[in-house]
Structure 1
Amino acid sequence: MTPAASGAPVPALLADTAGGRDTASRTAHGCWYPSADPAGRQVAFICDRGGVPRLWAGPPGTGEARLLDANPEPVTEVSWSPDGRWIAYTVAPGGSGHTRVLCVHPDGTGRREVAGAVPGSSAHLGCWTRDGSALAVTVAEPVGENAPAETTGSRADEAWAHRDGTAVLLDDAHAAEGRARHPAGAPAGRLSAYLIDPDRTRSPVLLAAEPEAATLRVCDLTPDGRLALLRGGPRGRRRAVVWDTAGRRATCTLAVADGDPWIGRFSADGRTVWLRSDHDREFAALMALALDEHGEPAGLSVTAAREDSDMDLLAFPEDGHRAAVSWNTAGACELETLALNGDGPPRPISLEHEVVTRVAPAGPSGMLLALSGSQRRPGIWLVPHAAPPARTPWSSRDADAVPPGRPPVRPTPQRPSARDGLRLGGWYYRAPGRGPGEPAPCVIHLHGGPEEQERPVFDPLYHELLGRGLDVFAPDVRGSSGWGRSFVDADLGTGRFAAIDDVADCAAHAVTSGLADPTRLAVMGHSYGGYLTLASLVHHPELFRTGISVCGMSDLGTFFDGTEPWLAESAAHKYGHPERDRELLRALSPMSRVDALRVPLLAVHGEHDTNVPPQESRQIVRAAQSRGLAAELLVLPDEGHDFRHAHTRRLFRRTAGDWMQRHLTGAEAR
């Protein structure tokens, strides 16, 4: 492998900020994203005790947890090195999407920035080398005249060409004009993957780079470093790439499903890649991709599959001899382990809660599960070999999920039918104390993505609304994951108009089922769900009494102008190309139909949102106010696209609850 370009990130030492031992283990909090040391004696994880998701570590059996980084930047991912010397983690300064990768020793010393420190750049965590000597990171960086030109193979759509770095994606016919406007060295979308030595004894090494990239993550490396497993491609068209690190070329490209970015791993000899893939399938399965001595494909077979369920998590808890797979069954999970050599039937793992969010090896101790469910906050369980899962001592108890006297609500699954006959999904939460035949004021809550899926997990926002006597219906409209590839693709292009109609059909389902009061319906959602909220209000203005858009797009044209270049690459496959499909995007944009808006609107946005810029909320609120409607904007300081601080999450929930209670029930906010 050749050295990296001069712009490669170099580790920079930071002050140590480790905190003390945990003394509040009984308070309500969440723990997630576990990663164990090689011996399985200590676990690094993310915990929001204290109000911000931070890096902690502790023994999985008995003992206290220790805060390893007391800085206020929210932590989003964690990975313990195979040699046990380092813990790598990703932070989001100010809550923004411009993340950085840091490393720290397990005792809290030696904290250093590994990548993402350059203003305007962003870095994402990749895998460690098998010996733990280097960490793969992906950096979003400008393209300069001296930047290396290697790419990760052919693009998913060669008709796409170039982005000018500030506004829209351009066709090939516009490329020369774009380059003339933006000379070499001007900002543009580019993702580059490097191998970084946290000890700084070796220079960074460039693994791969992709101009105008949508995503790029290094998921695994063969023990000799000859091959890398990359995950790239736009949303809805993710791909696994087997990458020859010396020849800088793709030896094989295979479709993989959206969802968890850790898509697979190489066998110990580098001759097999185990993948979570939906290649030529409706639902993702475990596949074995055989490779020859040159890393070229030599065969593909299905190792484990279900006809009506996606595999949404794949991990390797027993040194690659067995796989742990999580099956998505209408939003809930079923977990099992299986021998990769086919020796013996799968072993089911009993789960205390509905959803597995992560599986991680714990060496001789077994494996770790991050669990969430409708009855508890996220927690971490240790699964010893041939023993049932046990909650770790620093994960909160189920009894601490909500304040005393307000038990969490277990939702019921729903399968509405769209007007064109497509079966949808979702979960209905009934407010406590409501009789079975009593129609209730109801909030339709729409998830983001669009490829996300509504899962039966504890959501404090839902319980805020339920505590005010409001039901919540959280549906999966077309475009959501978990229901097969055809369902995910059903909203592409003009299919998005049908997705907007799905929201109205889900409202009708809640009413005709006798659950919701047709005169007291509201709609709200986050990100794409915020867009869908605005679109529903202007396409079906007679249905809802109010709406709340959270970090939603109000104009798809200005969204493409303002979002991150690599996010624009990924989003154009879902929504439409901002040049070729300009008229479609205009027709789909709520701002183009704002005259149809009839009801009060609340918009909420993070101050530092770089995914969907706050201007998207500002312009729709101004437009509503200019038409004499009640419209308000709540901007949350020090937050980005996802709200990570406890005090702002509480402010958001209280504000949303007050708004919905006032407009659906006429009652004064408490």
Structure 2
Amino acid sequence: MAQVRSYGEWPSPITAEAAAAQSGGRNWPAVVGPETWWCGADPASATVRLLRSVDGAAEPVPVLGAGWSVRNLVQGYGGRPYLVVPGRQRHTLVFTEHRDQRLYRASVLPLGATEAADAGDGASARPEPAPLTPVADGTWYADPVLGPDGTEVWCVRETTRSATGPDDADPAGRTSRDLVAVPLDGSAAEDGSRLRTVARSHHFLSGVRPSPDGRRLAWIGWDHPRMPWETTDLMVADLVDGVAVDPRRVLGGGDVSVPQAEWADDGALYAMADPDGWWNLHRITFGSGADADGGTGGGADKPECVLPMPRECAGPLWQVGGRWFAPTRHGVVLRHGVGEQRLELWDGSQLRGLAEGWTEFGDVSAEGDHVVLIAGSPTRGRTVLRIPLTGPDPDADADSDTTPGAPVECDPAPADPFAAWRSTPERRIAPGPHGREVHYVYYPPAHLDCAAPEGERPPLLVHVHGGPTSATSATPNLEFSLFCSRGFAVASVDYGGSTGYGREYRERLHHTWGVVDVEDSVAVAADLAALGLADPARTAIRGGSAGGWTTLAALTSVDAFCAGAVYYPISSPEEWTYDQTHDFESRYLDSLIGELPRDLERYRSVSPLGHADRISSPMVVLQGADDFICRPDQAERIVAVVAERGLWHRYLLFAGEGHGFRMSESVSRSLRAEAELYSHTMGITVTLD
């Protein structure tokens, strides 16, 4: 018989430490022959490990020894950090190391050979990486690809020189990016002059892609003040002696965003672009033959949208080298959807499903007859999925039309001790202001053998994602289940401005940040209250970065929330610009709020710091001491105001943490601070032990 206890006070085995231990994610998968590689965050060491496996048959194996962290800081949020060139005897690995941001090369034995070497003499077969680039503060590299002649890697290089004084503090003026060639022989490690510039075009660059025949180079660029989900240029240039010449835009510009482009083996260039309001698949073909001056001749044909649909097939380009589709010799593998997604293979005439039962997809990559990606669903956590495109028959003709094989989980999770206490998410739509729909993901209270007294409604946590141009995922979330298993409901809001629902939906936030995001968060809370699924008197709001901004904006403008959990926020928008943040987002507020100084009054009207005297709900504020995106003073100034007014609050500053917490201790202490907040404001005792 179920125990009857108040919502929020149900006993649960999910502790703050258990949730923190699983807070790391996976990304950047790659096919390396029979092996699958990917990056996995390790909260225990606050590093990003490079892992690999074969068919998920055993535990994933770290590629590098302890202490190496495969991550870079390009664009503030990083980019694809490694390249593997497969080999029969050894693989060549090129990667960026987080500590010094240099590119390194390592010779890596295939998995079977590694195991044999370890077993043979007891010595570790882990490779010893050697640097490829010189020591240079403020210089970062991302998205390496093999150069056409095989002797270099080409990648995006970002350089930010130190400020010389207050008049030189703007990071945009001190930051430059180019596409560079890095010799694989290591000669540039001590001699930076050996690095060769391949192309320059825009202030921001992503996705350097040489064509299969080595005659052309494609890349994506954009300039301040536009963001890459507003407009980008897809550039193509001829390659002459390893240098891009005669660059021209072949797609994008105006109000068209191109987040990714990839070459097919036949020389066609595929790209995602949204001239019709949705990121859909386009194809660009090029004339053949050579001009008298050595150019590739013929130019580019007009881009063709080859698969138009009112569904989103890509996402926002927050990280350099992001991938949402992959051309293969069997067709183009892509994901698409509005909220919930499907993964399919388009063979030029029809779509064929590849991963039935999975509903969330990202980081798509392919090589040969296999595609790998990050996948998830409401009942299964996010995992690395590998899918054969040729079916299970090893004797089938390689060019025959066979049914794709079954997906394989490359890092299958062990038996889940918390399965009975996990909340299963549901996608929902709330009625919003002015007749607009608001998408959100609802996590109901979940427990093996507890129930609440009849007539009681659960407390609600409204979660606001960051970005704000991001999106929430309908997959199991142990941090949310930490609270749901104690009797809370959680609603993660895809407020106007979120991606996954077309350009019109994400442009709702144009010059309305601090208004639409707050209205939509309130609408979701009201929807669940109207359905009897939440207690409006015990509804709190939480979020980080842009979500921290919305949390503060809500606490200063509406009375719908009894408490707020604020992670690394923006509190004073007129000061969060130019030299007060990093280059990538230093002009972001032009589109979110307006241009300064022309729209100063609009900035002041939505500023949480400017209206901090209106805050009446208790709060906790969690901040990384090393955050260069949302600096500690943005949090500390709002904390100072509420402290002076005597309002109940907690402020935790975590040494060694940046924008988003990577250490398990920081995550667990933050969750405990939230539990204290909800206990104080909701008339319940929330224990996380």
TM range (shorter): 0.7 to 0.9
Task: Indicate the residue corresponding to 1:267 in structure 2.
Answer: 264
Report the CA distance shift for 1:210/1:615 in structure 2 as closer, same or farther (over 3 A).
Answer: farther
| Separation in 2, partners of 1:483, 1:539 | 27
1:579 deviation in Å?
3.7
2:348 aligned with 1:359? no
Task: Indicate the residue corresponding to 1:450 in structure 2.
Answer: 468
Task: Indicate the residue corresponding to 1:255 in structure 2.
Answer: 252
Which deviates more from structure 2 when the two are superposed, residues 56-65 or residues 228-237?
56-65
Matched position secondary structure for 1:519:
helix
Aligned 8 A contact 1:546 1:660 in 2: yes
Task: Indicate the residue corresponding to 2:114 in structure 1.
Answer: none
Residue 344 of structure 2, aligned match among 336, 339, 360: 336
Residue 81 of structure 1, aligned match among 84, 87, 97: 84
| Separation in 2, partners of 1:284, 1:551 | 31
Matched position secondary structure for 2:673:
helix
| Separation in 2, partners of 1:585, 1:667 | 39
Report the CA distance shift for 1:641/1:253 in structure 2 as closer, same or farther (over 3 A).
Answer: farther
Report the CA distance shift for 1:106/1:439 in structure 2 as closer, same or farther (over 3 A).
Answer: same
Task: Indicate the residue corresponding to 2:575 in structure 1.
Answer: 558
Task: Indicate the residue corresponding to 2:413 in structure 1.
Answer: 396
| Separation in 2, partners of 1:571, 1:357 | 27
Residue 373 of structure 1, aligned match among 374, 377, 401: 377
1:9-28 equivalent positions in 2, closer than 5 A: none
Aligned 8 A contact 2:228 2:257 in 1: no
Report the CA distance shift for 1:235/1:261 in structure 2 as closer, same or farther (over 3 A).
Answer: closer
1:105-254 equivalent positions in 2, closer than 5 A: 105-107=107-109, 108-114=126-132, 117-129=135-147, 132-142=150-160, 165-167=168-170, 188-201=174-187, 203-209=194-200, 213=203, 215-233=204-222, 234-244=227-237, 246=243, 248-254=245-251
2:437 aligned with 1:423? yes
Report the CA distance shift for 1:120/1:486 in structure 2 as closer, same or farther (over 3 A).
Answer: same
1:291-310 equivalent positions in 2, closer than 5 A: 291-292=286-287, 293-294=296-297, 296-310=299-313
1:495 deviation in Å?
6.0
1:471 deviation in Å?
0.8
Matched position secondary structure for 1:43:
strand
| Separation in 2, partners of 1:466, 1:89 | 39
Aligned 8 A contact 2:361 2:376 in 1: yes
Residue 60 of structure 1, aligned match among 55, 62, 68: 55
| Separation in 1, partners of 2:205, 2:491 | 35
1:519 deviation in Å?
0.5
Matched position secondary structure for 1:440:
coil
Aligned 8 A contact 2:362 2:375 in 1: yes
Question: 1:453-496 deviations in whole A, cap 9, x for unaligned?
Answer: 11102322211221232110111111111111011111111465
Aligned 8 A contact 2:171 2:582 in 1: no
Task: Indicate the residue corresponding to 2:331 in structure 1.
Answer: 322
- 1:204 partner letter: L
Report the CA distance shift for 1:539/1:49 in structure 2 as closer, same or farther (over 3 A).
Answer: closer
Report the CA distance shift for 1:334/1:405 in structure 2 as closer, same or farther (over 3 A).
Answer: closer
| Separation in 2, partners of 1:633, 1:370 | 35
Report the CA distance shift for 1:482/1:390 in structure 2 as closer, same or farther (over 3 A).
Answer: closer
Percentage identity across aligned positions?
A: 19
1:463-612 equivalent positions in 2, closer than 5 A: 463-494=481-512, 496-540=514-558, 542-560=559-577, 561-612=579-630
Residue 386 of structure 2, aligned match among 359, 362, 382: 382
1:123 deviation in Å?
3.0
Aligned 8 A contact 1:445 1:474 in 2: yes
Report the CA distance shift for 1:290/1:506 in structure 2 as closer, same or farther (over 3 A).
Answer: same
Q: TM-score, normalised by structure 1?
A: 0.80
1:309 deviation in Å?
4.1
Matched position secondary structure for 1:231:
strand
C-alpha RMSD of matched pairs (Å): 3.3
Task: Indicate the residue corresponding to 1:345 in structure 2.
Answer: 350
In the alignment of these two chains, the number of paired residues is 590
Question: 1:500-542 deviations in whole A, cap 9, x for unaligned?
Answer: 22222222222112211110010011111111111111011x2
- 2:54 partner letter: P
| Separation in 1, partners of 2:182, 2:356 | 38
Report the CA distance shift for 1:395/1:382 in structure 2 as closer, same or farther (over 3 A).
Answer: same
Matched position secondary structure for 1:252:
strand
2:649 aligned with 1:643? no
Report the CA distance shift for 1:494/1:34 in structure 2 as closer, same or farther (over 3 A).
Answer: closer
Report the CA distance shift for 1:450/1:295 in structure 2 as closer, same or farther (over 3 A).
Answer: farther
Question: Unaligned regions of 5+ residues in structure 1, if any?
Answer: 1-26, 145-162, 170-186
Report the CA distance shift for 1:518/1:287 in structure 2 as closer, same or farther (over 3 A).
Answer: same
- 2:232 partner letter: R
Matched position secondary structure for 2:433:
coil
Aligned 8 A contact 2:260 2:271 in 1: yes
Report the CA distance shift for 1:360/1:247 in structure 2 as closer, same or farther (over 3 A).
Answer: closer
Question: 1:572-624 deviations in whole A, cap 9, x for unaligned?
Answer: 33343344433322322211111111111111122222221122111111111
Aligned 8 A contact 1:227 1:242 in 2: no
| Separation in 2, partners of 1:167, 1:50 | 33
| Separation in 1, partners of 2:553, 2:479 | 22
Question: 1:2-25 deviations in whole A, cap 9, x for unaligned?
Answer: xxxxxxxxxxxxxxxxxxxxxxxx
Aligned 8 A contact 2:25 2:40 in 1: yes
Question: 1:397-424 deviations in whole A, cap 9, x for unaligned?
Answer: 4x42xx3464321122221122111111
Question: 1:254-276 deviations in whole A, cap 9, x for unaligned?
Answer: 33999999612123454x31001
Aligned 8 A contact 2:258 2:273 in 1: no
Q: TM-score, normalised by structure 2?
A: 0.78
| Separation in 2, partners of 1:165, 1:652 | 36
1:31-50 equivalent positions in 2, closer than 5 A: 31-37=26-32, 40-48=33-41
Report the CA distance shift for 1:619/1:196 in structure 2 as closer, same or farther (over 3 A).
Answer: same
Report the CA distance shift for 1:189/1:32 in structure 2 as closer, same or farther (over 3 A).
Answer: closer
Matched position secondary structure for 1:489:
helix
Aligned 8 A contact 1:223 1:268 in 2: yes
Question: 1:348-400 deviations in whole A, cap 9, x for unaligned?
Answer: 11334321122222434x22232123334332222122244343454324x42
Question: 1:29-48 deviations in whole A, cap 9, x for unaligned?
Answer: 865432122xx222221234
| Separation in 1, partners of 2:473, 2:423 | 14
Report the CA distance shift for 1:481/1:571 in structure 2 as closer, same or farther (over 3 A).
Answer: same
Q: Point out the structure with max Rg over C-alpha.
A: 2
- 1:370 partner letter: I
- 1:188 partner letter: R
Report the CA distance shift for 1:504/1:432 in structure 2 as closer, same or farther (over 3 A).
Answer: same
Matched position secondary structure for 2:535:
strand
Question: 1:434-467 deviations in whole A, cap 9, x for unaligned?
Answer: 5797521001000111111111023222112212
Aligned 8 A contact 1:282 1:486 in 2: yes
| Separation in 1, partners of 2:502, 2:98 | 32
Matched position secondary structure for 2:678:
helix
Aligned 8 A contact 1:286 1:311 in 2: no
| Separation in 1, partners of 2:139, 2:251 | 29
1:295 deviation in Å?
7.5
Task: Indicate the residue corresponding to 1:104 in structure 2.
Answer: 106
Aligned 8 A contact 2:258 2:272 in 1: no
